[in-house]
Structure 1
Amino acid sequence: MVYAPREDSFLLLRNMRGVILPRHKVKRVLDVGTGSGILAKEAAKFSKQVIACDIDKETIEKLKKENKNKKIKFIYSDLFSNIKNKFDLIVFNPPYLPSKKIKDKEIDGGKNGTEVIEKFLEKAKDFLNKNGKILLLCSSLNKNLTRLFKKYRYNYKKIDEENLFFEKLYVYELSK
């Protein structure tokens, strides 16, 4: 099932378009958990190549059929399982809602809402170019985010936030 763009997607899109892409030379972009492909499509306007991956095979097949942009390649991948290259920018709008059991892989982030985020952080550096950046969307419902950034030795800064009725969304810029 395709994750339809919502407030979180649009917040990440705004920061990718307005903060990262104009400021950095970005040739290769990785969109992890692409969902609707909205971030990949925007990134293709500013870069030479975009790899957009998702854990949902049906989503990837649908996006492949609809895709008319030769700069974008849609692939099935559980986070980095089928990713081979390094990137100037990695964007990730993860499943971040806390839940005891992961029932809906689009939105359930595990016990503290950070299980998927932690798996991502553990491997993401291996796929970043020397001066590469990560844009990561998180929620005020997520616990111990900065502890995770420190644990995996990322430089980090919060670059935007948005208040919703039951949570606050944050966009973090991470680097090696």
Structure 2
Amino acid sequence: MNRVYLASEDSLLLRRVLQRFSGQSCLEIGSGNGGNLSVLVKSFGFVVGTDIVPPEMPLGGGEFVLADRASCFRDYTFDLVAFNPPYLPSEEVEDPAVDGGRDGVDAALAFLEEAVRVMKATGTILILLSSYNPRERIELICRKHGLTMTLEESERLFYENLAVYAIRRAPQ
């Protein structure tokens, strides 16, 4: 089932963190109906969102590209790359909007590899993770690429903790 993911607590947490960033260019992977894009257009010159499902209503600003992640973009293009990946652990991906694979990080790992490629040398990646996800797998990819990962903001819900992490190139 392919459907646009509706904004929930996780989307709103990421949106609060996005408001702290500014720059020339921003990419949100999995932009859904564009709620985050409407925030980003206020502080970035060029804003684009990608999703595997076309938006069901007009976006709140920015451009939209029907694409899976960031394969259609050039290397070192964006100051900020943001993603609220599907993170629910699932044996099979029946709903790509929420099912994140066996331990919930398959989509996040694939995203991170592409985000590193399209992020400018001085850029930032923002990723939302759940306490259901083994963060160590994300940290391993970060170390492989010489990146640091720091907590931006977290929120405790009655069934899980949500956290937005900023990923940047380690200082030389």
Q: Which residue of 2 aligns with 1:41?
A: 38
Q: Which residue of 2 aligns with 1:80?
A: 70
Give the C-alpha shift of residue 3 in structure 1.
Answer: 1.2
Q: Which residue of 1 aligns with 2:139?
A: 146
TM-superposition CA deviations, 1:46-74 (whole Å, max 9, x none) = 11110110011x33xx35xx2474xx110
Taking structure 1 as reference, are residues 158 and 87 closer, same or farther at Cα in structure 2, changes over 3 Å only? same
- The two structures, once aligned, show a CA RMSD in angstroms of 1.6
Provide TM-score, normalisation by structure 1.
Answer: 0.87
Q: Which residue of 1 aligns with 2:164?
A: 171
Code of the aligned partner of 1:30: L
After superposing the two structures, state which structure 1 stretch, 120-129 or 99-108, moved more: 120-129
Q: Which residue of 2 aligns with 1:30?
A: 27
Contact 2:34 2:59 in 1 (8 A): no
> 2: CA distance between counterparts of 1:157 and 1:123?
19
Taking structure 1 as reference, are residues 89 and 8 closer, same or farther at Cα in structure 2, changes over 3 Å only? same
The structure in which a higher percent of residues are helix is 1
Q: Are 1:53 and 2:53 an aligned pair? A: no
Unaligned runs of 5+ in 2: none
- Which of 85, 109, 122 is the aligned partner of 1:118? 109
Taking structure 1 as reference, are residues 142 and 76 closer, same or farther at Cα in structure 2, changes over 3 Å only? same
Taking structure 1 as reference, are residues 113 and 151 closer, same or farther at Cα in structure 2, changes over 3 Å only? farther
Give secondary structure in 2 for the equivalent of 1:45.
coil
Paired residues, what number?
164
Q: Which residue of 2 aligns with 1:3?
A: 5
